[in-house]
């Protein structure tokens, strides 16, 4: 009997496959469909601080009453938050798997108070996405990082449910950032976030959006950092994201030490029912290798377990492919 049960952020999951934050989970009905197809947990579509602020100021600009600006901004934010709370409450009524709220922040202060409302609405955990372009030439890297740390401190003082940070791949030292979040009692880290990227249409001479979906090759960076961190932070929940497109990819991430994996692009490409295929592929692999539960092989290929851990640290091709023309 194959047992896929796992624990993530202290939550019991029937399997380690989580559907990450996206339009796939922006209504209660969609959340139920994901659960019906086997998702171990669902991260709801994010509440975007940047988008809400943009909409607020658009309403202010179109108003004939500039003195009402504060009211309009607060009303727009409150309305967006209320809709999100409804999404949490209604989703929880329809499914018996963990429902994780997601907040996309650009500041460390404005959205902390809403975290308590997310908890009260029934969210099982809160996933925090923080990112801003480090494009201030006079601002040192540690000043940007402080935004993450202040937010973590404020959130953990306020809510009792687990808090997990979804990080980008562009920190100078992801280990240090993760250590500082762990020190501030953050319950988990998701590696890695996928951000909007601009592109240029050279024929029409205009700015466009780069490919929004991940590709299977994107998994390589995630494997490296999950493998490294799982040995260093044994008490921190790690979820692997970006580039997970198949059941085999799920196996790779679990072997490297992840508690769970998060998928999104592959469901857009293959349909929500592809969840069943990925789960079946995971089970079949476990049968072929004589594993009866996930814990029996988790981390077996992590930094601390393999014979030559320096494989995770190598960054230059020259030494290994210098003989190839």
* pLDDT confidence band for 51 (50 / 70 / 90): very low
Tell me whether residue 210 is in a domain. yes
Considering the domain boundaries, does residue 245 fall inside one?
yes
pLDDT at site 210: 75
Mean pLDDT value of segment 98-116: 78
Domain total in the chain: 1
- 191 vs 75: which has the higher pLDDT: 191
Q: Give the structural domain span for 147.
A: 6-321
- Reported as a pLDDT band with limits 50, 70 and 90, residue 110 is low
The model's pLDDT over 289-305, given as tens digits with 9 standing for 90+, comes to: 999 999 999 999 999 89
Average pLDDT over residues 110-132: 86
Q: Above 80 in pLDDT, residue 27?
A: yes
Alpha-carbon distances, residue 178 vs 224, 237, 274, 278 (angstroms): 15, 11, 32, 29
> CATH number for the domain including 263?
3.20.20.70
pLDDT of residue 71: 34
Question: Residue 109: its pLDDT value, please?
Answer: 61
The pLDDT value recorded for residue 17 is 98
H/E stretch holding 219 reads: helix 219-232
* Residue 38, pLDDT above cutoff 90: yes
Q: Which residues contact 302 (CB under 8 A, 6 or more apart)?
A: 226, 227, 230, 231, 255, 256, 257
User: What pLDDT sits at residue 289?
Assistant: 97
Give the model's confidence band at 113: pLDDT under 50 very low, under 70 low, under 90 confident, else very high. confident
- Residues above pLDDT 70, as percent of the chain: 83
Residue 80 lies in a domain: yes
Q: Is the pLDDT of residue 119 over 70?
A: yes
Give the model's pLDDT for residue 62.
41
Tell me the mean pLDDT in the region 315-320.
Answer: 52
Q: What is the pLDDT of residue 313?
A: 80
Distance CA 147, CA 129 (A): 12
Residue 281 in this model has a pLDDT that exceeds 90:
yes
Residue 208 has pLDDT above 70, yes or no: yes
Q: pTM for the full model?
A: 0.86
> Contact 194/169 with Cβ under 8 angstroms?
no
- With a cut of 50, say whether residue 185 has pLDDT above it: yes
pLDDT at residue number 194: 76
pLDDT value at residue 125: 98
pLDDT at 48: 57
Residue 311 is predicted with a pLDDT of 85
Q: Please check the confidence at residue 112 and state whether its pLDDT lies above 80.
A: no
The closest of 292, 270, 238 to 18, measured between CA atoms, is 238
Higher confidence at residue 271 or residue 309? 271
Task: Work out the mean pLDDT of the chain and round it to a whole number.
Answer: 85
Task: Indicate whether 75 pLDDT > 70.
Answer: no
Looking at residues 228-237, what average pLDDT do you find? Answer: 93
The answer to whether residue 1 sits within a structural domain is no
Instruction: Read off the pLDDT of each residue in 38-44 and give the average, rounded to a whole number.
Output: 98
pLDDT for residue 236 is more than 90? yes
Triad 227, 189, 50: Cα angle to 5° = 135
Closest C-alpha among 149, 136, 21 to residue 87: 21
What is the reported pLDDT for 315? 61
So what's the pLDDT on residue 169? Answer: 86
């Amino acid at each position: 009997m194959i047992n896929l049960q796992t624990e993530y952020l202290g939550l019991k999951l029937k399997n380690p496959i989580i559907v990450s934050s996206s339009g796939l989970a922006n209504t209660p009905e969609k959340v139920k469909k994901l659960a019906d197809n086997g998702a171990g947990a669902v991260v709801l579509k994010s509440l975007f601080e940047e988008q809400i602020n943009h909409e607020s100021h658009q309403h202010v600009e179109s108003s004939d009453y500039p003195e009402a600006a504060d009211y309009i901004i607060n009303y727009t934010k409150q309305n967006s938050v209320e809709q999100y709370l409804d999404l949490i409450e209604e989703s929880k009524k329809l499914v018996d798997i963990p429902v994780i709220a997601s907040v996309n922040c650009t500041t460390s202060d404005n959205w902390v108070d809403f975290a308590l409302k997310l908890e009260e609405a029934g969210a099982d955990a809160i996933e925090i996405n923080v990112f801003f372009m480090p494009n201030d030439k006079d601002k040192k890297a540690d000043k940007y990082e402080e935004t993450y740390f202040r937010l973590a401190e404020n959130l953990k003082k306020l809510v009792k449910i687990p808090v997990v940070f979804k990080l980008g791949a562009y920190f100078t030292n992801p280990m240090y950032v993760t250590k500082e979040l762990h020190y501030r009692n953050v319950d988990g880290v998701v590696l890695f976030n996928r951000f909007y990227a601009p592109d240029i249409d050279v024929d029409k001479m205009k700015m466009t959006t780069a490919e929004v979906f991940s590709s299977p090759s994107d998994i390589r960076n995630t494997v490296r950092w999950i493998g490294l961190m799982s040995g260093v932070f044994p008490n921190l929940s790690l979820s692997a994201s970006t580039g997970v497109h198949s059941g085999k990819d799920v196996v790779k991430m679990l072997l490297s030490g992840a508690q769970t994996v998060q998928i999104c692009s592959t469901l857009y490409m293959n349909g929500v029912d592809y969840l069943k295929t990925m789960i079946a592929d995971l089970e079949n692999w476990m049968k072929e290798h004589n594993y009866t539960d996930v814990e029996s092989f988790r981390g077996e290929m992590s930094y601390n377990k393999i014979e030559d851990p320096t494989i995770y640290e190598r960054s230059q091709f020259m030494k290994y492919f210098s003989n190839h023309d």
